[in-house]
Amino acid sequence: MINGFYEAMRAKGFSYNTTKALRKFKCPVCEFEFSMMYARTIACQGCSEALKDCPKVRCAKCDHEFFIGETPEIYNEWQERSISEHISNVVTKYQQDMGWRAKR
């Protein structure tokens, strides 16, 4: 299945980290389809680790937590770290813009 939003962003020149964070994949347990950015903003909402470059992703449907490196197209620790830092920065910026605190 081609992810149209991901492909359009990549064609417009968005960064590697942004396009990878938005690419959809399936949860290995329940097969719910979501992106890393969605998981970090929905399932990890309020968790302080989400803003500290957490290397994990949590499924918003079944709450299964697994490492970013276990998702498709993430092949090494550098990619995992780079994407986790990028997602944390995006979520931190969003929370600051909205005036939210990073606590539950």
Task: Please give the residue range of the domain that contains residue 33.
Answer: 4-96
- Binned at pLDDT 50, 70 and 90, residue 102 comes out as low
Q: Is residue 103 part of a domain?
A: no
Q: Is residue 75 part of a domain?
A: yes
State the Cα angle at 53 between 24 and 93, rounded to 5°: 80
Question: Residue 58: how many CA atoms within 13 Å on its side-chain side?
Answer: 13
Q: Is residue 74 part of a domain?
A: yes
Q: Is residue 19 part of a domain?
A: yes
Cα separations in angstroms, 94 against 38, 97, 99, 104: 13, 5, 9, 16
Q: Is residue 101 part of a domain?
A: no
Indicate the length of the chain as a whole number: 104
Q: Is residue 21 part of a domain?
A: yes
Q: Is residue 102 part of a domain?
A: no
- Backbone phi, then psi, for 14, in 5-degree steps? -65, 155
pLDDT digits (tens, 9 = 90+) for 30-88: 999 998 888 888 888 778 787 788 899 899 899 999 998 888 888 888 888 888 888 88
Instruction: Report which of 48, 17, 12, 52 is spatially closest to residue 35, judged by C-alpha positions.
Output: 17
Report the number of distinct structural domains present in the chain: 1
pLDDT, position 103: 57
Q: Is residue 36 part of a domain?
A: yes
